Amino acid sequence: MKKILILAYDFPPYISVGGLRPYGWYKNLSEFGIYPIVVTRQWENKKGNKLDYILPSKSDYKIIDHNKEGTIIKAPFKPNISNKLLLKYGEKRFKFIRKLISAYYEFIQYIFIIGPKAQIYKEANNFLKEEQVDVIIATGDPFVLFSYANKLSKKHNIPWIADYRDPWSQDIPIQKYKLYQKWCSFFEKKIIPQAKTITTVSEFLKIKIMELTKINNAYIIYNGYDEDLVKMTSHLSQNKDKMSVAYMGTIYDWYPINNFFMVVLKFIEEYEPNNFEINFYGINKEVELKELINTRYKKLEGFINIYPKMQNSELLKKIATDNLFLLFNNYSFLGTKIFDYVALKRKILFCYTDDFESKRLKKQHYLIEELGSEFQHLQEDMLKSTNSAIIIKDELHLNDVLKELYKEFSKKRTISCDAVNTEMYSRKIQTQELAKIILNIV
């Protein structure tokens, strides 16, 4: 059996969609003749919020777990001074100092093995001194893992694969910091051509990466869904008491959430339903959302529930009882939640394809250079091919759709969804595709 060393910073039990991708590999690769060894960090998950990312580990030593699927090496984690200040004094104090310290590590980590993530490299290197593997794969972000994989590749003469979950120097948030963007671009162009190949999550990202780094070969491995977790929800029925709409995960600045609430408010004022609700799960803007509701949409308070982050197994069980899923337009990006949505076979409300407010927000916040029009509706294409969604043009269309769906629910106590062709997006199938790439390399 071939062996692969996987560098993955985000990994369960840390609650992050970024950790689900390498976990799917770890869980399934052995079925296809490859033994995975994951090098990650120790996670505590004490806070249930973003502070979990910087909490120190309980142990100062590595922890190794051997399971039937493979091996997990968990490196100890020590927060830097910026992290310690944040943990001790909160977000409002020492902002400038914390930013300076964080910036220092973000820049210097590509030159020296230093900073909060350096222990990943050290534990991987120690392992390779004693054991042989056939290939290394690093999944980013954090993209310093690509630098680590490249160094390990040269030191131990092992081919490596760069796996992009998101763009590196071309990512939207990084465009605001021109110096850092140029810094990352320099190292991306330097490091990535030394990889044996790259994998990424969509055709759009594949082309953007190839254009920047001038590499000739790249493969698409979709994020996919966990078929075992989906099977665990198969016995769960839709909510029959209330027509419930679910949304999970990140709310980006270009999402027309205000517009969506405005339409929902009109619907509620017209129908005065006592059996309607919207459930938000593990969102990143809980404070902002509550403030928006409190100041502008007070009438929605009794119709909206906000739940904290939870493990993916719990989350899927929760949303499987909802009747509808809400998905905002990410244009050139597929995202992750879309795969869980289509797998659970609940009707998806896809907002929007041609809405004035959405276009305004996109122009203001969606800071990435897009390709041709065929790459600007990847979600819509997938939703149409799986027959999973109602493709909503604008707010007027959404208003009509909510009325029709509410009539359907009032009559049937359920919302129909006749999704097809979803199986190809399972993580097992996607891992099988990755295994083919790996075996072709070694």
- State both tokens at 292: 């928006």
Residue 407's pLDDT band, with cuts at 50, 70 and 90, is very high
**What average pLDDT does range 352-378 have in this prediction?**
86
Helix or strand (DSSP H, E) at 433: helix 427-441
- State both tokens at 337: 């939640």
384 pLDDT above the threshold of 90 = yes
**What average pLDDT does range 195-214 have in this prediction?**
94
Residue 70's pLDDT band, with cuts at 50, 70 and 90, is very high
**What average pLDDT does range 39-61 have in this prediction?**
87
Q: What pLDDT sits at residue 51?
A: 83
Least confident of 88-97, 142-151, 241-250, 316-325: 88-97
pLDDT, the chain, mean: 93
Q: Is the pLDDT higher at 324 or at 53?
A: 324
Q: What pLDDT sits at residue 271?
A: 86
How many residues are given for the chain?
Answer: 442
Q: What pLDDT sits at residue 90?
A: 85
pLDDT, tens digit, 9 for 90 and up, residues 13-35: 998 889 999 999 999 999 999 99
299 pLDDT above the threshold of 90 = yes
161 pLDDT above the threshold of 80 = yes
Q: CB–CB of 392/398 below 8 Å?
A: yes
Q: What angle do CA 252, 257, 262 make, to 5 degrees?
A: 170
370 pLDDT above the threshold of 90 = no
Residue 372's pLDDT band, with cuts at 50, 70 and 90, is low
Helix or strand (DSSP H, E) at 246: strand 243-248
110 pLDDT above the threshold of 70 = yes
88 pLDDT above the threshold of 90 = no
376 pLDDT above the threshold of 90 = no
Q: What pLDDT sits at residue 112?
A: 95
Q: What pLDDT sits at residue 91?
A: 83
223 pLDDT above the threshold of 90 = yes
DSSP summary character for residue 288: H
217 pLDDT above the threshold of 90 = no
**Residue 142: cis peptide before it, omega within 30 degrees of 0:** yes
**What average pLDDT does range 325-341 have in this prediction?**
93
Give the β-pairing of 324-328 and 304-307: unpaired
Q: What pLDDT sits at residue 89?
A: 86
- State both tokens at 317: 């069980």
414 pLDDT above the threshold of 90 = yes
Residue 373's pLDDT band, with cuts at 50, 70 and 90, is low
Q: Return phi, psi of residue 177, to 5°.
A: -115, 85
Residue 233's pLDDT band, with cuts at 50, 70 and 90, is very high
Domains of the chain from N-terminus onward:
2-224+427-441 (3.40.50.2000), 227-422 (3.40.50.2000)
Q: CB–CB of 137/165 below 8 Å?
A: no
Q: Which of 218, 228, 222, 234 is nearest to 161 (CA)?
A: 218
